[in-house]
Amino acid sequence: MSDLNHIYSGPDLTIVTVVRNSVPELKKTITSVSGQKYPHIAFIVIDGGSTDDTKEVIKTHANHIAYWISEPDRGPYDAMNKGLAQATGEWILFLNAGDTFADPSILSRIFANDMSECDVIYGDCIRDYRSFKVLQKAASPEQLWKGMICSHQSMFIRTSLMKPQGFISGYKIGADYEFAYRLFAAGKRFYYFSE
């Protein structure tokens, strides 16, 4: 079977990774992002002013990173908003340091579909507890009143919907849930990608 990259030219995707003092986790995420077969990725790394070798890791992999910055922030959602401000892709994904894709062709398979009628693409995720892994199935957006329906690391959002406000950075946790709920309440279209 031929490579999907040669069959379909999909939309641009911005991937934002936030990190602070987490060299091994960042390396894992960079390897996963750079290993994707999907060609239309702009990778952004926002470092919260690390004091370990995180900046050196970023510099070493600079050929895979479209933009990076290292400075103190007011928490993860503030850092994520910094990445959002630099995003240029049609879609955006927030993949924290330590997070990885399920396999190298997952983005090609997702964006081989016509997503022109979608505002949010979401799916399942695998939680890795080191000694075992658990598949976390995503719920329907109608269940958002109960809580987050999936991991934000498995949620692709149209960048144009995020740019006007982004995450409420004052939240220590839950700003991703608040944003997803806001989109659903506004009637935005959610698409569940499952294999």
User: Which residues lie closer than 8 Å to 21 by C-beta, 6 or more apart?
Assistant: 50, 51, 52, 54
Q: Residue ranges per domain, the chain?
A: 4-193
Confidence of residue 171 (pLDDT cuts 50, 70, 90): confident
120 neighbors 158 (Cβ within 8 angstroms) = yes
Mean local confidence (pLDDT), 108-132: 91
Structure tokens at 153: 């690391």
Classify domain 4-193 at the CATH superfamily level.
Spore Coat Polysaccharide Biosynthesis Protein SpsA; Chain A (3.90.550.10)
Long-range Cβ contacts of 65-71 (<8 Å, 24+ apart): 65/30, 66/42, 67/42, 68/44, 71/47
Residues of the chain above pLDDT 90, percent: 84
Nearest to 100 by CA among 29, 39, 27: 29
Residues paired with residue 135 on neighbouring β-strands, in sequence order: 126
Mean local confidence (pLDDT), 121-145: 90
Tell me the pLDDT tens digit for each residue of 78-92: 999 999 999 999 999
Mean local confidence (pLDDT), 118-125: 96
Confidence of residue 7 (pLDDT cuts 50, 70, 90): very low
For the whole model, what pTM was predicted?
0.92
Distance of alpha carbon 112 from alpha carbon 107, whole angstroms: 8
Tell me the pLDDT tens digit for each residue of 32-82: 999 999 999 999 999 999 999 999 999 999 999 999 999 999 999 999 999
188 neighbors 119 (Cβ within 8 angstroms) = yes
Q: What is the pLDDT of residue 9?
A: 64
3-class secondary structure, 77: helix
DSSP H stretches of helix in 12-151: 23-34, 54-60, 76-86, 106-110
Q: What is the pLDDT of residue 10?
A: 77
Distance of alpha carbon 123 from alpha carbon 128, whole angstroms: 16
Question: How many alpha carbons fall within 13 Å on the CB side of residue 136?
Answer: 15
Q: What is the pLDDT of residue 46?
A: 98
98 or 1, greater pLDDT: 98
Q: Is the pLDDT score of 8 beyond 60?
A: no
Structure tokens at 38: 């999907």
